[in-house]
Amino acid sequence: MPNSQTDHHDVVIAGAGPAGAQCARDLVRRGYDVVVLEAEGEDEFPRQSNKSSGGTFPPMLSAFGIPDDVVMNFTDNVVIESPNDYFVQYQPGGVLDFAKFKQFLVRDGRELGAEYRFDARVNTPLVEGGELVGVQYGGGNTVYGDIVVDATGPAAVLAKQLGVITLERENQAIAIEYEMEGIELDHEGYADLTDAMMLRLDHDIAPGGYSWIFHTGEDTAKVGLCYLHNDAHRLYAREGMRIDDYLQYWLDTDPRFENAERIAGRQHRGSAHLQMPDRLSSDNFMAIGDAVPTVDPVWGEGINACMKSGRAAAITADHCFVASEVDTSAANLSAYDDRWHTEVAPKMETRLLISRVLYRAPNDRLDTFIRDMRRIDATELDKVGGGSVRALAKLLHLRDVPLLARVLTASRG
Ligand SMILES: Cc1cc2nc3c(=O)[nH]c(=O)nc-3n(C[C@H](O)[C@H](O)[C@H](O)COP(=O)(O)OP(=O)(O)OC[C@H]3O[C@@H](n4cnc5c(N)ncnc54)[C@H](O)[C@@H]3O)c2cc1C
């Protein structure tokens, strides 16, 4: 057990998810002394935190040196389905084995020199003389650091207590996913989902959210859905149905699952908040990944953005440490906030707006939306994906005005 007198590190990171583990990798590569505290036990890691579908794209894999052996299946297409239509776009990607991916990040970080402590649930910030100096974890252990990083995901254990973020239930998306076999991936009347990641907008299946099928090889796929407890969910939800019931309903009614079975032990659950962060840092402190939250609100792509936020925090810490006088004040660490807004999650406000419109639009409008997507060219489509308001406007119709007005009013309220 480490001695509290000497248990001091340049950076203490709470949480070994993609954000925390990547932050640790980048810091140790720069020669810093880093300890990562992870709530789960090492033997079964990740257990509860093995929550992600792991759909990702080449920029993430190459930017962070992710090996092919953690990818279950490389995919060619992204498919968007509405209740009665679909749109196919060629966009190479990969579906990660999220557990193997997390284990790789830990192993690699350790080889580079990071210290990992498992069974180390962080409870509270450690404040001495009015200053944040470390954290308390496990049954009364303390660890000190010049900088403390909260990477505990939607738990945001430290950021909440330090008043850096207030996560609102109305903005919380909840998700469930089964890994399944025996799926008919190329069923008549639907897009061919072989080597594809498919997202379906359909309030009958995911009221106020979306569902997905990510092909993981042969006749297997990850099948899940998520939604927010927002006004659209209240409008389209069916009495007494919970998230598991909606997934079961989809499995019972979609012919692609007629002969499909769940793979034992391969069930995942999780949540993420879709909202603008208040702040991202304070004196001696940064919050990264979904603690802030950083996940893309439109399609839930969080891995790349969360790892980028870990990298932005590592760069910021480096700048604080290499200055002639070490300065980890809020003023200096606010450079991380700037990086987050410009490089990690640019146009977050526009993307939140897009997600609110998409998840509230009625089913027949979603069908029209898919038809319109086929109409515009690939460059314009990329701009929509990137959050261009002008490109987005081309997809809007006059009949969307009341919906937009509702969304804008809700966003301001
Ligand atoms: C069902 C689902 C499907 C998803 N699918 C995709 C997808 O296909 N593609 C994609 O890009 N993104 C996807 N995401 C989003 C993505 O998984 C997240 O954005 C990403 O995992 C967030 O990374 P993180 O490191 O910030 O947090 P997390 O992944 O939440 O990691 C937090 C870590 O902190 C640990 N921890 C929590 N509390 C404490 C504590 N008190 N002390 C110490 N440790 C603690 C946890 O055990 C965990 O290891 C999905 C999310 C869900 C829920």
Domain borders along the chain are 8-50+99-167+275-344, 55-97+170-273, 348-412
Give the pLDDT confidence score for residue 5 in this predicted structure: 53
Phi, psi of 243 (to 5 degrees): -60, -40
Least confident of 7-16, 109-118, 225-234: 225-234
Q: What is the mean pLDDT of the segment spanning 12-29? A: 98
Indicate if the pLDDT at residue 149 is higher than 90.
yes
Indicate if the pLDDT at residue 269 is higher than 80.
yes
Phi, psi of 54 (to 5 degrees): 75, 25
Indicate if the pLDDT at residue 386 is higher than 80.
no
Which residues are bridge partners to 199 per DSSP? 80, 212
Top mean-pLDDT range of 21-30, 344-353, 404-413: 21-30
Give the pLDDT confidence score for residue 61 in this predicted structure: 97
Give the pLDDT confidence score for residue 408 in this predicted structure: 59
Rounded (5°) CA angle 333-334-340: 110
Give the pLDDT confidence score for residue 342 in this predicted structure: 95
Confidence of residue 275 (pLDDT cuts 50, 70, 90): confident
| CA 52 to centroid of ligand 1, rounded, Å | 7
> Could you say which of 3.50.50.60, 3.30.565.10, 3.40.50.300, 3.40.190.10 is the CATH number of the domain covering 55-97+170-273?
3.50.50.60
Indicate if the pLDDT at residue 248 is higher than 50.
yes
The answer to whether the Cα torsion of 337, 339, 345, 350 is positive or negative is positive
Give the pLDDT confidence score for residue 401 in this predicted structure: 63
User: Which residue in this structure is represented by tokens 């009958």?
Assistant: 204
**Residue partners of 38: CB distance under 8 A and separation at least 6:** 15, 16, 20, 45, 116, 117, 118, 119, 120
Rounded CA separation 194/206 (Å): 23
| CA 29 to centroid of ligand 1, rounded, Å | 23
Residue 14 in contact with ligand 1 by CB distance below 6 A: yes
Atom 4 of ligand 1: nearest residue by CA position? 52
Least confident of 29-43, 83-97, 336-350, 366-380: 366-380
Residue 302 in contact with ligand 1 by CB distance below 6 A: yes
Indicate if the pLDDT at residue 411 is higher than 60.
no
Q: What percent of the chain clears pLDDT 90, i.e. is strictly above it?
A: 71
Could you tell me the two tokens for 22? 């990547």
Indicate if the pLDDT at residue 330 is higher than 90.
yes
Confidence of residue 379 (pLDDT cuts 50, 70, 90): confident
Give the pLDDT confidence score for residue 409 in this predicted structure: 63
The domains spanning 8-50+99-167+275-344 and 55-97+170-273 adopt the same CATH topology: yes
User: Which ligand 1 atom is the nearest neighbour of the CA of 95?
Assistant: 8
Q: What is the mean pLDDT of the segment spanning 126-152? A: 96
Q: Which of 13, 49, 198 maximizes ligand 1 atoms within 8 Å of its Cβ, making it the mutation to test the pocket?
A: 49
User: Which ligand 1 atom is the nearest neighbour of the CA of 175?
Assistant: 1
Rounded CA separation 108/117 (Å): 15
Give the pLDDT confidence score for residue 1 in this predicted structure: 46
Indicate if the pLDDT at residue 250 is higher than 80.
yes
Top-level CATH class of 8-50+99-167+275-344? alpha beta
Q: What is the mean pLDDT of the segment spanning 162-175? A: 89
Rounded CA separation 179/166 (Å): 33
Rounded CA separation 296/275 (Å): 10
Angstrom distances, CA of residue 146 to CA of 10, 110, 150: 5, 20, 13
Residue 37 in contact with ligand 1 by CB distance below 6 A: yes
Per-residue HEC secondary structure of the chain comes to CCCCCCCEEEEEEECCCHHHHHHHHHHHHCCCCEEEECCCCCCCCCCCCCCCCCEECHHHHHHCCCCHHHEEEEEEEEEEEECCEEEEEEEEEEEECHHHHHHHHHHHHHHHCCEEECCCCEEEEEEECCEEEEEEECCCEEEEEEEEEECCHHHCHHHHHCCCCCCCHHHEEEEEEEEEECCCCCCCCCCCCCCEEEEECCCCCCCCEEEEEEEEECCEEEEEEEEECCHHHHHHCCCCCCHHHHHHHHHHHCHHHCCCEEEEEEEEEEEEECCCCCCCEECCEEECHHHCCCCCCCCCCCHHHHHHHHHHHHHHHHHHHHCCCCCCCHHHHHHHHHHHHHHHCCCHHHHHHHHHHHHHCCHHHHHHHHHHHHHCCHHHHHHHHCCCHHHHHCCCCHHHHHHHHHHHHHHHC
Give the pLDDT confidence score for residue 243 in this predicted structure: 96
Least confident of 206-210, 214-218, 318-322, 374-378: 374-378
Give the pLDDT confidence score for residue 304 in this predicted structure: 96
Q: What is the mean pLDDT of the segment spanning 317-330? A: 92
Confidence of residue 300 (pLDDT cuts 50, 70, 90): confident
Indicate if the pLDDT at residue 387 is higher than 70.
no
Report the mean per-residue pLDDT for the chain. 91
Give the pLDDT confidence score for residue 325 in this predicted structure: 87
Confidence of residue 226 (pLDDT cuts 50, 70, 90): very high
